[in-house]
């Protein structure tokens, strides 16, 4: 089964891949099999729906795969079953997709686990929207139909058009998911828009307009998993008296939810220009946009800004998160921000997370997310129309 909003080409591709993997994994007595894109959104499930239990499995597994870019397989015990996670990656090491199988907790000794995993990864690597799997042996390229049907050609052309449209948006918008460090109550996926190499008011306004259009298209598909997208702004955009008024009409027309679209404002604005920042926060609240404070630290004197209704998250100063595991002052600083944010209903994002040990410490301190770009440097965009391609493009 696939979500109702999934495009037909993705529906066909995901169903074929899922059925092939079910056959490969049948010796393990598969209870449930699901396919997910790089951001963890459901592509296909063999039975039922993506309930809260499956969403928790995805959220709990993502940090391990994000923090170890060489990891491809993970096995965990769950209630009465085993969860097998098969992660596919691009040649850059970025995660491109995830297959999750819930199997019998009783192992069958005659099953060669390593050979079985290799068959799974071989299938994932071979899978492509431009070359759908045939009903016969996957090892025989000649078995594929050399003359695609008109319906198949039409589906491919539709997919190409979607990809071209997304490429136009991706020219200035690269989406990067925040990495959940601990289980969170919300099923919402949170993303940041990668910072641009250029930064001035008109450019930020253009990028904000493009984001509204992208979210309009995403919303039209009624995604089963809501998303929250944050666009970093330059100080000039925050200090400008007409940035939000110029953006307000298209925001009003789009009518997004208050958690859907927001802005990350730099410390150069909120630390040094408090009056202009407060005006910007009021304008964002009126436009139903949330705000994140970048490089947040109590030493910068921004604690009073947390009471503003528009402020929904803080990105911790990277020096704090880097030093917290080994420095008592930084430790106390991070703990204080985390506890205060929890009381205020604000979530925290860690930056400069360089190791698994640091991630575990931050999770224990109550930090919900890590900024992926602080570790990985460069990340590929993840757009819904490319999910089936990225799931298979494991290099």
pLDDT of residue 264: 96
CATH of the domain at 23: 3.30.450.30
Contact 38, 96 (CB under 8 A): yes
* 239 inside domain: yes
* Residue 126 pLDDT: 67
State the Cα–Cα distance between residues 48 and 90, nearest whole angstrom: 30
For 88-97, how does the pLDDT look when each residue is reduced to its tens digit (9 = 90+)? 887 777 788 8
Confirm whether 167 is domain-assigned.
Answer: no
Helix or strand or coil: residue 225? coil
CB 269 within 8 A of CB 239: yes
CA distance 168 to 165: 5
Q: Other C-beta atoms within 10 Å of 88: how many?
A: 22
Q: Where are the alpha helices (DSSP H) in the chain?
A: 8-25, 52-67, 113-126, 150-170, 201-220, 235-239, 243-254, 267-270, 274-286, 318-323, 328-344, 356-364, 373-376, 387-392
Same domain, 374 and 270: yes
- Give one word for 15, left, alpha or beta, with left for phi > 0 and alpha for psi -120 to 50: alpha
339/240 same-domain check? yes
pLDDT at position 84, please? 92
Extract the residue ranges of the chain whose pLDDT is less than 70.
Answer: 1-11, 48-50, 105-110, 126-172, 183-187, 197-198, 218-225, 372-395
The pLDDT assigned to 22 comes to: 92
CA distance 323 to 332: 11
Considering the domain architecture, whether residues 204 and 349 belong to the same structural domain is answered as: yes
Task: Tell me: do 179 and 294 sit in the same domain.
Answer: yes
| Domains contained in the chain, number | 2
Q: Are residues 139 and 182 in the same domain?
A: no
- How far from 393 is each of 288, 295, 306, 369, CA to CA, in Å? 37, 35, 42, 26
Same structural domain, 368 and 249: yes
Residues 246-255 pLDDT 10s: 999 999 988 8
CATH at residue 351: 3.20.20.450
Examine residue 224 and state whether it is found in any structural domain, yes or no: yes
What the block records as the tokens of 28 is 């393990």
Q: Say if residue 125 is in the same domain as residue 61.
A: yes
**Distances in Å between the alpha carbon of 330 and those of 66, 317, 320, 338, 344?**
25, 10, 5, 12, 21
The per-residue pLDDT for 31 is 87
C-alpha to C-alpha distance for 349 and 368, rounded to whole angstroms: 6
Q: H/E element holding 271?
A: none
Dihedral sign of CA atoms 382, 59, 254, 244 in order: negative
Secondary structure (DSSP) of 314-362 = EEE-HHHHHHTTT-HHHHHHHHHHHHHHHHHT-EEEE----SHHHHHHH
Alpha-carbon gap, residue 334 to 340, rounded angstroms: 10
Residue 173 zone, left/alpha/beta (φ > 0; ψ -120 to 50; rest): beta
CA angle 98, 102, 108 (to 5 degrees): 120
pLDDT at 373: 53
CA 84/CA 288 separation, integer angstroms: 40
**140 and 184, same domain (yes or no):** no
The answer to the question of residue 119 being in a domain is yes
CA 350 – CA 296 distance, rounded (Å)? 10
Kindly report the pTM of this predicted structure.
Answer: 0.56
Q: Give the H/E segment covering residue 103.
A: strand 95-104
The Cα 283–Cα 286 span in angstroms is: 5
Residue 148's pLDDT is 43
Provide the pairing of β-strand 261-265 with 227-232.
parallel
Contact 356, 321 (CB under 8 A): no
The DSSP element (H or E) to which 45 belongs, if any, is: strand 42-45
Is the residue at 2 inside a domain? no
**Domain containing residue 69:** 8-147+386-392
């Amino acid at each position: 089964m696939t979500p109702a909003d999934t495009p037909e080409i993705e529906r066909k591709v995901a169903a074929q891949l899922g059925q092939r993997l079910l056959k490969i994994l049948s010796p393990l007595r598969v209870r449930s099999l699901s396919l997910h894109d790089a951001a963890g959104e459901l592509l296909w499930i063999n039975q039922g729906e993506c309930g809260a239990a499956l969403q928790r499995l995805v959220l709990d597994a993502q940090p391990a795969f994000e923090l170890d870019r060489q990891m491809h397989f993970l096995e965990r015990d769950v209630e009465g079953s085993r969860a097998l996670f098969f992660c596919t990656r691009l040649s850059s090491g970025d995660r491109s997709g995830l297959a999750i199988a819930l199997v019998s907790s009783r192992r069958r000794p005659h099953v060669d686990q390593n050979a079985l995993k290799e068959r799974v990864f071989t299938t994932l690597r071979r899978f492509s929207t431009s070359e759908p799997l045939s009903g016969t042996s996957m090892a025989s390229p000649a078995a594929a139909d050399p003359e695609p049907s008109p319906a198949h050609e039409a589906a491919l052309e539709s997919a190409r058009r979607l990809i071209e449209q997304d490429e136009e948006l991706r020219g200035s918008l690269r989406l990067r998911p925040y990495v959940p460090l601990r289980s969170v109550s919300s099923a919402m996926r949170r993303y940041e828009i990668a910072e641009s190499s250029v930064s001035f008011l008109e450019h930020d306004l253009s990028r904000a307009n493009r984001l509204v259009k992208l979210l309009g298209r995403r919303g039209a598909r009624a995604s089963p998993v809501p998303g929250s997208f944050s666009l970093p702004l330059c100080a000039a955009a925050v200090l400008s008296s007409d940035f939000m008024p110029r953006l307000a009409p298209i925001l009003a027309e789009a009518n997004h939810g208050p958690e859907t679209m927001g802005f990350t404002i730099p410390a150069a604005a909120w630390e040094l220009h408090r009056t202009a920042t407060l005006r910007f926060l009021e304008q964002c609240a009126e436009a139903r946009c949330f705000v994140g404070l970048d490089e947040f630290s109590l030493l910068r004197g921004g604690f009073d800004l947390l009471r503003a209704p528009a402020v929904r998250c803080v990105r911790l100063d990277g020096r704090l998160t880097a030093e917290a595991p080994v420095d008592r002052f930084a430790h106390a600083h991070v703990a204080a921000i985390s506890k205060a944010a929890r009381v205020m209903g604000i979530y925290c994002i860690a930056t400069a997370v360089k190791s698994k040990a640091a991630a575990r410490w931050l999770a224990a301190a109550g930090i919900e997310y890590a900024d992926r770009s602080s570790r990985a440097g460069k990340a590929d965009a993840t757009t819904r129309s490319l999910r089936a391609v990225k799931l298979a493009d494991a290099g």
